[in-house]
């Protein structure tokens, strides 16, 4: 399915994938760089992207616009599967809403989804050997987690997992993705504090609704979170729809926050600020 184009050094894998999309590159074209000089994350911030980590962007075509946000959850599952395959058997990656991938409670990956005309660019970064210094949240690498730390191995497993999850998603839709995501959910059943746009909510994390929004059971009833800061990791718009007692957060189409549609989180660069490590841009 994938046609991988390898670069020693590049400005941004997402930008190169966008350029290739404009030239008519087919579905499944992959831009893989050993190093980025202009990797970015949310709000177009520049991120640390040295050699030793995985930075790639995948060109996807024919993704229905109304399902674009679901790629955020799907891609997180593909990353988690790849990370698990490289970690010791007693270690398992967890997912923090909407697409943070954690190992031992520390961020190991980041995701940035962008549109390029009718195409979609899915950028993914995984910390293999190098974690950035300075983020206000914990970060880790495959090497530091006791895993098999090879960039090529991580790339192969990630693309294999992404192909598998795209097939499952095509056949079963978001319910299949949602079920698998919840099986890896970080702090499911525990009390979370979420702050967004001058408001906040504390409640027991009970799941996701059909649109990917975070559901909390609070003293005032069930609350649907579509954008906010969950335990220090910026999260965002869960998609359209309602169905909860109340709703917090409106999201930001410009990416001011980690959105469950992918815009606003980043990848390819060891670890990003705001929502997570690794930014591909």
| Number of domains forming the structure of the chain | 2
Q: What's the mean per-residue pLDDT of the chain?
A: 82
pTM of the model: 0.83
Confirm whether 247 is domain-assigned: no
The answer as to whether 74 is a domain residue is: yes
60-83 residues labelled b (16+ CB within 10 A) or e (exposed)? beebeeeebbbbbbbbbbbbbbbb
In this predicted structure, which of 2-11, 134-143, 194-203, 229-238 has the lowest mean pLDDT? 229-238
Q: Does 19 share its domain with 157? A: yes
The torsion angles phi and psi of 221, rounded to 5 degrees, stand at: 120, -170
Residues 179 and 207 in one domain: no
d(CA 52, CA 54): 7
Q: For residue 180, what are its two tokens?
A: 């698998």
Last residue of some domain: 183, 200, 215?
Answer: 183
Q: Which two tokens stand for residue 38?
A: 């202009």
The tokens for 238 are: 């869960």
Three-state DSSP state, 59: strand
**Residue 59: closest CA among 136, 166, 134:** 166
215 with 175, same domain: the answer is: no
Q: Answer whether residue 246 is part of any domain.
A: no
CATH of the domain at 129: 3.30.930.10
Token readout for 250 is 């409106």
Q: Are residues 78 and 94 in the same domain?
A: yes
Residue 270: pLDDT band with limits 50, 70, 90:
very low
Specify whether 96 is located in the same domain as 206: no
Q: Which domain holds residue 160?
A: 3-183
For residue 228, the model assigns a pLDDT of 73
Q: Based on the domain organization, do 130 and 170 belong to the same domain?
A: yes
Q: Is residue 237 part of a domain?
A: no
In terms of C-beta density within 10 A (0-12 exposed, 13-18 middle, 19 or more buried), how is residue 141 classed?
Answer: buried
Judged against a pLDDT cut of 70, whether residue 274 lies above it is answered with no
Please state the φ and ψ torsions of residue 158, each to the nearest 5 degrees.
-65, -45
Do 33 and 116 belong together in one domain? yes
Residue 87 sits in the same domain as residue 172: yes
**Residues contacting residue 113 through CB under 8 Å, at least 6 positions apart:** 68, 71, 72, 75, 120, 121, 122, 123, 261, 262, 263, 265
CATH number at residue 208: 2.30.30.100
Alpha-carbon span 141 to 209, nearest angstrom: 31
The encoded tokens of residue 163 equal 């192909």
Residues 181-238: tens digit of each pLDDT: 999 999 999 999 987 777 888 999 999 999 999 999 999 999 999 877 787 444 443 3
Residues 79 and 124 in one domain: yes
Q: Do both 59 and 44 map to the same domain?
A: yes
- Position 221 in a domain: yes
The 54-60 sheet, strands edge to edge: 3-7, 29-33, 54-60, 119-126, 109-116
Residue 196: its pLDDT value, please? 77
Same domain as 205, residue 140: no
- Answer whether residue 163 is part of any domain: yes
DSSP string, 238-279: --S---SSEEE----TT-SS--TTSBTB--SSEE-STT-EE-
Beta-carbon contacts of residue 41 (< 8 Å; ≥ 6 apart) = 47, 110, 112, 265, 266, 267, 269, 272, 273, 274, 275, 279, 281
Domain membership of residue 262 (yes or no) is: no
């Amino acid at each position: 399915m994938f046609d991988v184009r390898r670069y020693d050094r590049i400005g941004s894998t997402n930008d190169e994938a966008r350029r290739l999309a404009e030239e008519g590159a087919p579905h499944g074209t992959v831009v893989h760089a050993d190093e980025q000089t202009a990797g970015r994350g949310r709000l177009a911030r520049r991120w640390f992207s040295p050699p030793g980590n995985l930075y790639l962007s995948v060109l996807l075509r024919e993704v229905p616009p109304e399902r674009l946000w679901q790629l955020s959850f799907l891609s997180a599952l593909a990353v988690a599967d790849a990370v698990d395959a490289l970690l010791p058997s007693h270690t398992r990656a967890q997912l923090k809403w909407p697409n943070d991938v954690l190992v031992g409670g520390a961020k190991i990956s980041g995701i940035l989804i962008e549109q390029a005309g009718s195409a979609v660019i899915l950028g993914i970064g995984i910390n293999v050997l190098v974690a950035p210094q300075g983020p206000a949240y914990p970060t880790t690498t495959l090497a530091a987690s006791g895993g098999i730390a090879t960039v090529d191995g991580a790339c192969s497993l990630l693309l294999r997992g992404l192909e598998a999850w795209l097939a499952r998603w095509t056949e079963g839709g978001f319910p299949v993705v949602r079920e698998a995501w919840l099986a890896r959910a970080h702090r499911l059943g525990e009390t979370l504090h979420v702050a967004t746009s001058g408001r906040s909510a504390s409640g027991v994390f009970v799941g996701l609704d059909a649109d990917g929004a975070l559901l909390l059971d609070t003293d005032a009833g069930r609350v649907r979170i579509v954008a906010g800061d969950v335990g220090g990791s910026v999260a965002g718009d869960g998609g359209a729809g309602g169905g909860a007692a109340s709703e917090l957060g409106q999201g930001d189409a410009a990416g001011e926050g980690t959105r469950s549609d992918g815009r606003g989180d980043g990848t390819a660069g060891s670890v990003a600020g705001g929502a997570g490590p690794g930014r591909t841009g």
